[in-house]
Amino acid sequence: MRVLQLAALVIMLMALIAPVLAHSLDEVDQDLRDREKYFQAVDSEAPGFTLQDAQGRTVSLSGLRGKVVVLNFIYTNCPDVCPLHAERIAELQKMVNQSPMKTMVEFVTITTDPKRDTGPVLSDYGQAHGLDPVNWVFATAAPGQPEDSTRKIAEAYGLKFTEGDDGMQMHGIVTHVIDQDGRLRARFHGMKFEPVNLVVFVNALINRTQKPHGHQQPSFWDKLKGAF
């Protein structure tokens, strides 16, 4: 049943994206401004970061140049919105990974509670919420970095995590989209946005760097359709 649901989701995605493939990023941007109220267009240098993943490997924004990055902030001890946000990211990832965009997009989740969110905790959390490590990484502070370092990164992205006495953090929910050149290009606020709209925007960022062919080629969605 889950496979059928995913196939239906991909077919819906093809139907919605196909009309915008020929349009510029500016046209897609304007279209989303008109029909996605949780979309905020941005064009500024994305704040850099150098952290580590669950296996202790270095993760940096500069090391992801050439890929579109979908970035969010959560912490694993959060009892309510963070698990829902993780599952929304997993949903977006499934949509992207059913297309040729899979190798061109990296999903990055940064914990704002590095003291508690150790490597094994991060790995278990990702697995529990259906995130695929093939193009997703859960990052935390590296040894020697201050405990609040990742909260400061979140604040640089315009998102404040305020820690209470009970260890819980008050915060908002934002999904950030960073282009291949390291520029922050969009924020999708909350979790009521249509996932397909974020995927359309990511696709537009990818297509703007593709070189035109000398003769007409089938779109990648035509190729994807042929796989079903």
pLDDT score, position 216 = 46
Give yes or no for residue 218 having a pLDDT over 80: no
pLDDT score, position 198 = 97
Residue 119 DSSP label: H
How many residues in total does the chain contain?
228
3-class DSSP state of 8: helix
- What are phi and psi for residue 125, nearest 5 degrees? -65, -45
Spatial separation of the C-alpha atoms in residues 122 and 140, rounded to whole Å: 9
pLDDT score, position 75 = 97
Kindly report the number of other CB atoms within 10 A of residue 175's CB atom: 23
The whole model's pTM is what? 0.82
Domains observed in the chain: 2-209 (3.40.30.10)
217 burial class (0-12, 13-18, 19+ CB within 10 angstroms)?
exposed
3-class DSSP state of 221: helix
pLDDT tens-place string over residues 136-157: 999 999 999 999 999 999 999 9
Give yes or no for residue 135 having a pLDDT over 70: yes
Mean predicted confidence (pLDDT) in 66-71: 98
pLDDT score, position 85 = 97
pLDDT score, position 9 = 53
Give yes or no for residue 196 having a pLDDT over 50: yes
Name the amino acid, one letter, at 41: A
- What are phi and psi for residue 36, nearest 5 degrees? -125, 100
Mean predicted confidence (pLDDT) in 50-79: 97
The average confidence (pLDDT) of the chain is 86
Give 68's strand partners. Answer: 105
Give yes or no for residue 171 having a pLDDT over 90: yes
Q: Among 91-100, 127-136, 178-187, 212-221, where is mean pLDDT lowest? A: 212-221
Alpha carbon dihedral 156, 160, 162, 167, in 10-degree steps, equals -80
181 neighbors 175 (Cβ within 8 angstroms): no
Give yes or no for residue 225 having a pLDDT over 80: no
168 neighbors 31 (Cβ within 8 angstroms): no
Spatial separation of the C-alpha atoms in residues 4 and 139, rounded to whole Å: 32
pLDDT confidence tier of residue 18, bands split at 50, 70 and 90: very low
Spatial separation of the C-alpha atoms in residues 130 and 151, rounded to whole Å: 25
pLDDT tens-place string over residues 76-125: 999 999 999 999 999 999 999 999 999 999 999 999 999 999 999 999 99
Copy the structure tokens of residue 169.
């953090």
Q: Among 14-18, 32-36, 38-42, 105-109, where is mean pLDDT lowest? A: 14-18
pLDDT score, position 13 = 53
